[in-house]
Amino acid sequence: METEGLREFYRAHQPRLVGVISLLTGSRAEAEDLVQEAFVRLVPRWQKVSRYDSPEAWVRLVAVRLAANRHRDGNRLTHLFHRLPADHVADPADGYAGDLEQALAGLPMPTRQVVVLHYVCDLSVAQVADTLGIAEGTVKSRLSRARDTLSDSLLLRSDDHA
């Protein structure tokens, strides 16, 4: 019975979570791995987490932290993280979406976390600050820098497309 509940939860939230984490990692395959790991960690805790107001927030937080850890570990080995994965080739047909993905991947991971949680997961500034354990002012300043950077980057690329 518990397994069925967990299966339903997985079906309902796994795809969306992969979409969110993909924006952090820049790679859908890597995001699938991380989300899978987050759900594996959820299984033994399901009885407890299922009683939370928002179990999906728990899984999302685990996945976000896993992404940050993998990013940090990857950075220790290479300074190439800010580039998209080598096998990623932007589809010219993607147009603006591809540019946005690249511009997002160019942001530092802490800024990317704030952007994704605020704009994609619809968390308020206070909720983002609480989730990441940082001050609200830090969230605001990161959002501001992210908007400026993304705006500049997308405007430049728009000029290129034109």
Partner 1 sequence: MPDLQEDLQALADRKAAESAGDFDTVLTTARTRKRRLTAGLTVLGAAVVVAAVAVVPTLRPAHNAPVAGSPVPTNAVAPPELEQQPNPAPVQKAGPLTLTSAKALKAGGQVVASFPDKKVRNVTFTLSSAAKPDVPLYTLVAKVPGDATTPYSMKVNPGESGIAIPQYTSAGPYTLALPKGLAAGSYKVCTLSGALLCGLVTVG
Q: Does 43 bind partner 1 (CB under 8 A)?
A: yes
Alpha-carbon 23 to chain mean position: 5
Q: Which is nearer to partner 1, 19 or 79 (CB)?
A: 19
Q: Two tokens at 78?
A: 């290479």
Q: Does 82 bind partner 1 (CB under 8 A)?
A: no
Q: Two tokens at 135?
A: 């001050």
The HSE-up count of residue 80 (CA atoms within 13 Å, CB side) is 5
Q: Does 150 bind partner 1 (CB under 8 A)?
A: yes
Question: How far apart are CB 140 and partner 1 at their closest, in Å?
Answer: 15
Phi first, then psi, for residue 143 (nearest 5°) are -65, -40
Q: Does 100 bind partner 1 (CB under 8 A)?
A: yes
The one among 61, 74, 101, 110 contacting partner 1 by CB under 8 A:
101
Residues in CB range of 125: below 8 A, 6 or more apart:
118, 136, 139, 140, 143
**Can you give the binding site for partner 1, defined by CB under 8 A?**
3, 6-7, 10-11, 14-20, 22-23, 28, 31-32, 35-36, 39-41, 43-44, 96-97, 100-101, 104, 115-116, 119-120, 147, 150-151, 154-155
